[in-house]
Every structure is written in structure tokens, then in C-alpha cells.
Amino acid sequence: MNFTGQTALVTGASTGIGTVFAERLAEQGAHLILVARSADRLHALADRLRAAHGIRADVVALDLSTPGAGERLVAHVADLGRTVDILINNAGFATHGDVADADPARLQAQIQLNCAAVVDLTTRFLPAMTARGRGAVVNVASTAAFQPVAHMAVYSASKAFVLAFTEALWSETRPTGVKVIAICPGATETPFFEVVGAEEASFGRRRTPEQVVATTLRGLANGCPSIVDGRTNATVATLQRFLPHRAVLGIAERTVRPRA
């Protein structure tokens, strides 16, 4: 795809995969709208990418897990006089532990950010893309989307939602000229696990954000509805379909079981 002169809105842009999405798109001539809670990190990133690539980069410091955040973001974009050509729904977080022991408000915020914000922003920015006959929506799912994961029940369910929503959206938008893809990373070397607060939530060798973004852009160019990052991750995601379901649940539970 040719990103030159297009505008990409990237959520969760202050760290990890979101930052690398911003960097790669800026390298290819895209202008940016960077969204996350951390204004300082966003401004530092925006300054660096403007200086390196001569692109326009605007910052919107916003917590997308709060009610009405999508509407406020759309208003910010309008005030900036910007049109969104590429939407990267990357913001999200996980919790680790049993539902019976969880903070209900924390789980609600997780659902709001991982699921509701993805749908909200997509439905707000997609109509203009389809009207123009071009654009792209990238939703960050996870290899956790392929099976329920005990001790990370809400996270795995939220990513299963993102995957199903995105693949259905891919079918809906095929005649419109808008490209849609869900990227499913496995464990990735980002601050994600610092937020989770449990190293046992990480399974397998961690890949880099650069690898995840490269996989995404390749899949987007090839018209894939979804793509798993990494050969090992893709193999595991495929093999679980052929195992007894109870066995899959047991393996997933043991993999991320909280340490005593």
C-alpha cells in the first residue's frame, strides 16, 4: 500500500506496538494522529517523527476506556481539520488472575478499551473511508483470541471479540476499497506485561514490535482478514483446532496459571 500523504490515527501510540506502527507509517510518508493517555510520551514521539520524516504529527492525550471517549476523539480530529485514512486500533490491556478475585471496575475498563472502543472508533471513521473508496482499519487482537484462557478470561474473550468483529468487517468492506485486518501477536517485548503485573502471563519466546508491525503491513497488502505474527504462534493457533476442546482449555490454564 502507498501511505504517502495519508493520515493514520494510532491508538496506544505511546509505547510498544503502537509506537512502531507510528514509526513505520511515518517512514512511508504518512501523517499521524497519536492517541494515548501519556501526553509527554506522545509529544516526544511526535517531535521525533516530524524531525525525521517531515510529516505532520498531532497528539491527542485521551483515555479511551472512559465513557464518551470516542466522541471526544472525533471532535478533536475535526478541530485539527484532519481526515483519517488509516485507523490503527492498538490500545488495550490485560489483567491476570481469577474472575472471582478481580476488581469489577478494572474488568469493565478492560472490556471498554479492548472491545467497545474498537467498535466505536471503527464505526465513527469507517463511513468516510468507504465513501472515498479507500482506507484501512487495523485491529490488534492476540493469539489469546483462538482459545479461552483461564486466569485471563476477560482478556482472551475480548480478543476473540476483536478477531471475530474484524473478520466480519473484512467481509463487509471487500467491495468498498477499504482494507481491514486483525493482527494476532503472541507474547511481544513491550510494556504490556508490566501492566499485567505477572510474568507468567507471557508464554513462549517474545517477538519484537517491529516484527509484529512488519507482519501486519504484509498481511494488509495481501488482503488478509487476519494474520498471526510468527511461525510458531501461527502453528500453535492452528494445532489447537485439532485437539479436544477440554485439552485446549487445560493447556491454556496451565500455561498462565498464577504462581504460588
The mean of the pLDDT values for the chain is: 94
- Per the CB < 8 A criterion, the answer to whether 185 and 207 are in contact is yes
How many Cβ atoms from other residues are within 10 Å of residue 222's Cβ? 10
Question: Which pLDDT belongs to residue 201?
Answer: 55
| Least confident window among 12-26, 137-151, 204-218 | 204-218
Tens digit of each residue's pLDDT (9 = 90 or more) over 15-72: 999 999 999 999 999 999 999 999 999 999 999 999 999 999 999 999 999 999 999 9
For residue 206, the model assigns a pLDDT of 80
Superfamily of domain 7-255 in the CATH hierarchy: NAD(P)-binding Rossmann-like Domain (3.40.50.720)
- Whether the pLDDT of residue 81 is over 60: the answer is yes
DSSP code at position 216: H
pLDDT, tens digit, 9 for 90 and up, residues 228-252: 999 999 998 998 889 999 999 999 9
Using an 8 Å Cβ cutoff, are 32 and 55 in contact? yes
Q: What is the pLDDT of residues 159-210, one digit of tens each?
A: 999 999 999 999 999 999 999 999 999 998 866 555 554 555 556 678 999 9
Over 90: is that where the pLDDT of 157 sits?
yes
Report how far residue 199's alpha carbon sits from residue 73's, in angstroms, rounded to the nearest whole number.
33
- Considering only CA atoms, which of 237, 115, 122, 233 is closest in space to residue 180? 122
Q: Confidence class of residue 114 from pLDDT cuts 50, 70 and 90?
A: very high
R_g over Cα of the chain: 18
Select which of 125, 155, 161, 192 is catalytic.
155
Catalytic residue check, 183: no
Name 54's Cβ contacts closer than 8 Å, sequence gap at least 6. none
How far is the C-alpha of 256 from the C-alpha of 252, rounded, in Å? 7
